[in-house]
Copies of this chain bind each other. A is one copy, B any other.
Amino acid sequence: MRSQILVDMDGVLADVYSHFIALEYQETGIKLELQDLNGKLESEAFPSFHKHVNSKGFFRTTPLILDSIEGLKYLNDKYYVLIVSSATEFPSSLNDKRLWLGEHFPFISWKQMIFCGTKENIKGDIMIDDHDKNLSKFDGRKILFTQPHNVFVENTNYQRVANWKEVMSIL
């Protein structure tokens, strides 16, 4: 049986930072710079965080992380991939995320998608995630995908990757 790999959406496939920055600029004229957001969770970094994540359409129009299509195809050929996304906190995000996955990753079946509140009850062999809170409770191999909020996370149990090229080089 293939190894099972749990792949996060926001911050791994979906470039929520670019999306928040573009919307903040559009609405306020203020251009936030990625390096100023280091160490802050998205909810702390973006003043309009709650408004956006509760808006229908926000997660339907998020840009892709660089190389995520090529990277996920690579993983999907080699592993049993499950997309696991925290989504139930924001009810309107669910349909949006499902349709977004269908549009950009048509090679991923609906059978390979999980939308949850927390990830503690999801089994797998490998997890790729940008959030310490998800990796820290996972039993298998833990891969931390770099995003501004996690740059100060130091945990020798995690393998850190900066981008999808690095994911493909280690998996």
- Residues of A near any B CB (own CB < 8 A): 4, 6, 82, 87-89, 91-92, 94-95, 98-99, 102, 109-118, 121-124
The interface residues of chain B lying within 8 Å CB-to-CB of A6 are: 121
How many Å from the CB of A103 to the closest CB on chain B?
Answer: 11
A115 contacts B114, CB within 8 Å? yes
Q: What is the copy number of this chain in the assembly? A: 2
B95 contacts A92, CB within 8 Å? yes
B121 contacts A117, CB within 8 Å? no
23 contacts between A and B (CB under 8 A): A4-B121, A82-B121, A87-B115, A88-B111, A88-B113, A88-B114, A88-B115, A89-B110, A91-B98, A91-B99, A94-B94, A94-B115, A95-B95, A109-B117, A111-B117, A111-B118, A112-B117, A114-B115, A114-B116, A114-B121, A114-B122, A121-B123, A122-B123
Q: How far is the CA of A122 from the CA of B102 in the complex (A)?
A: 22
* Chain B, residue nearest A92 (CB): B95
Q: Chain A: interface secondary structure?
A: mixed
* Chain B, residue nearest A124 (CB): B121
The interface residues of chain B lying within 8 Å CB-to-CB of A98 are: 88, 91, 94
* Chain B, residue nearest A123 (CB): B121
Q: How far is the CA of A88 from the CA of B101 in the complex (A)?
A: 11
* Chain B, residue nearest A94 (CB): B94
B116 contacts A113, CB within 8 Å? yes
How many Å from the CB of A91 to the closest CB on chain B?
Answer: 4
Q: How far is the CA of A1 from the CA of B77 in the complex (A)?
A: 38
A88 contacts B116, CB within 8 Å? no
